[in-house]
Amino acid sequence: MSLQRIVRVSLEHPTSAVCVAGVETLVDIYGSVPEGTEMLEVYGTPGVDVYISPSMERGRERADTRRWRYNAGLEIIVVMNSPSNDVNDSHVQISYYSRHQPQPLAYTVLYLTCVDITLDCDLDCEGRQNGSFVDKRQWVWGPDGYGAILLVNCDRDDLNCDDRDNCDQHVCCLQDLEDMSVMVLRTQGPAALFDDHRLVLHTSSYDAKRARVFHVCGPEDSCEAYRHVLGRDKVSYEVPRFHGDEERFFVEGLSFPDASFSGLVSFHVTLLDDSNEDFSESPIFTDTVVFRVAPWIMTPSTLPPLEVYVCQVRNNTQFVDAVAELAMKAGCKLTICPQAENRNDRWIQDEMELGYVQAPHKTFPVVFDSPRNGELQDFPYKRILGPDFGYVTREPQDSSVCGLDSFGNLEVSPPVVANGKEYPLGRILIGGNLPGSSGRRVTQVVRDFLHAQRVQPPVELFVDWLAVGHVDEFLSFVPAPDGKGFRMLLASPGACFKLFQEKRKWGHGRALLFEGVVGNNQVNTISINQVLSNENLISYNKFVQSCIDWNREVLKRELGLTERDIVDIPQLFKTERRKAVAFFPDLVNMLVLGKYLGIPKPFGPIINGRCCLEEKVRSLLEPLGLHCTFIDDFTPYHLQHGEVHCGTNVRRQPFSFKWWHMVP
């Protein structure tokens, strides 16, 4: 701290002042200098450091070394580093001299009382910087940065409460405190000083809408001890003087960063002088701390899985069983949403995205509820929100929601480096339209929210050529033991036609697609020869390939990928109402559980007793150490324009990388 406070002294009577430990006090003598003064002599009692700055051009020197020539530019600076034991127990004396007489013309005494006031919080974020040497008024990103972190307290630790923890003004259970950040006010100095001085904790009305503060006013093992003192309609709080020198506060976030909120919240403590009955109280000193609200972070499919979600509906028992078996192999917990709750809405991927928030003291998952609001709309709030599982949503004020606002259209890449910029938490991928087009886009409130988190800068891809319009219809990521640690899978009509042409060349042109589809009369078999002679299908898939190629180039540029990082997965599309849907089950729309992949069973041509599409996918992915399981989703999902990924959701381990170590 090096803030200056100005104190004016008088010849007529001694002056008293309060100074704060480590903070400079500038002594104004110019109204008290006797006529004829040519020299000054200044000294302080032990514990008082006095410096003279003879002019603006010269640096400061210790005052007790000699007498000083008086001039209009001379400054006297006082610093005390230790709090006083009693009021006015230290002083500075200034003696005024003329060259014509040895005795001082006059002298002035400034009595000093030193207090130590600090507002502290965890600034170093796990060893980034020593908190003693940083500016608490700033928040700095990166491994060499500093600043305190605040979690949005959006879980529900007390199941007897109806809402999220940060929606009320009480601490309902002690576990709730684990989601908050601690702020400590420390004061040292004579107790008598506070008979006519006050300490006020305060924030702006803007920040009060985004964070709430509780003061510990009793035994910490009692919820009643936590008094709501700042937040919402409370912007200031006079701190009562209890018996100790330390007051503890717990701070919770109320809002995630968004278009109108940078994520920074400031709190201040001000010492006010109320000792003069003739004047209003005046500020002596203010200390400030800044918190950054932790962003909501998505997890890519390459991170280890913890829990799989799936819906039980009328006709998907075998599908649920297959997902359960895959989850067991991967060592995951399985959560089944029953039909009574999903009301036959099976698209659990579209309903929500599972991410997390993190601070040095706590990490917990947070579900982002999409604005699609199908029959599953109550599931994230009623079934997932709970102890150490948070909830957030964004709803447009108008009715501007479209199919692109389902979260099958919200994915995130693994960590990448692109154009010299590191993205250690990956980049969010959302589907939209071509630049300048007036087609479908993700609603503005969702885009604003995603951009405002800053740690996973979004990339917008072209999906309006698809009937459903989701990025998971043509891409996915799987872990890999080499290279960048992953491969990006892209649906490829070109790769499919090439495969079928090879099979026809080897005499398998009469092999049939869709042979073996059970219990459905809505699909007819079709041979490789028929596919390769269908000019409309070929022409349309050339268009689809051009759309995917557009995205391929965007992804290579924005994610720093090369062709070696991309695997082309054979896939054909057909047109419905001038938009694309999968011709056979969409192979890239898969469930990734570590090395175990749940892939839509394509019902491709059977050659030598094996599906040639399955064999091709195995040949591409199993050398990466992946295990391919093909799940029959044809009737319950594919015929409704969705696949395995659309019908499942996964909670994953957080990144080992801490978000505050990055530089956005």
All domains in the chain, ordered by first residue: 5-116 (2.60.40.1860), 122-293 (2.60.40.1700), 297-661 (3.75.10.10)
3-class secondary structure, 601:
coil
Interval 400-459: pLDDT, tens:
789 999 999 999 999 999 999 999 999 999 999 988 888 899 999 999 999 999 999 999
Position 124 scores a pLDDT of: 61
Say if CB 103 and CB 95 are below 8 A apart: no
Residue 47's closest CA among 116, 96, 125, 112?
A: 112
DSSP 133-164: GS-TT--B-STT-B-EEE-B--S-S-TTSSS-
CA distance 74 to 11: 18
- Amino acid type, 30: Y
Q: Alpha carbon of 321 to those of 193, 325, 379, 632: distances in Å? A: 73, 6, 21, 11
Residue 488's closest CA among 569, 594, 595, 573?
A: 569
Phi, psi (deg, nearest 5) at residue 563: -60, -30
Position 245 scores a pLDDT of: 84
Tokens of 316: 């998907």
CA distance 161 to 46: 58
496: DSSP letter: H
Under 8 Å CB-to-CB from 57, ≥6 apart: which residues? none
Say if CB 372 and CB 401 are below 8 A apart: yes
Contacts 24+ apart (CB under 8 A), 163-171: 164/385, 164/390, 164/391, 165/252, 166/212, 166/252, 166/253, 166/254, 169/212, 169/228, 169/231, 169/232, 170/223, 170/226, 170/228, 171/214, 171/223, 171/226, 171/250
Interval 175-227: pLDDT, tens:
999 999 999 999 999 999 999 999 999 999 999 999 999 999 989 999 999 99
Phi, psi (deg, nearest 5) at residue 311: -100, 135
CA distance 271 to 5: 12
What sections of 277-404 are H helices per DSSP?
317-330, 339-342, 348-351, 379
Residues labelled catalytic: 350, 470, 472, 646
* Burial grade of 340 (CB within 10 A; 0-12, 13-18, 19 or more): exposed
Position 632 scores a pLDDT of: 97
Predicted TM-score (pTM) of this structure: 0.93
Cα torsion angle, 604, 605, 607, 613, sign: negative
CA distance 394 to 392: 7
Residue 28's closest CA among 78, 89, 99, 88?
A: 78
Position 134 scores a pLDDT of: 77
Say if CB 190 and CB 208 are below 8 A apart: no
Position 2 scores a pLDDT of: 46
Position 626 scores a pLDDT of: 98
Report the b/e string of 162-171 with b at 16+ CB within 10 A.
Answer: eebbbeeeeb
Say if CB 241 and CB 191 are below 8 A apart: yes
Position 1 scores a pLDDT of: 42
Pairing of strands 566-570, 486-492: parallel
Q: Which residues of the chain have pLDDT under 50?
A: 1-2
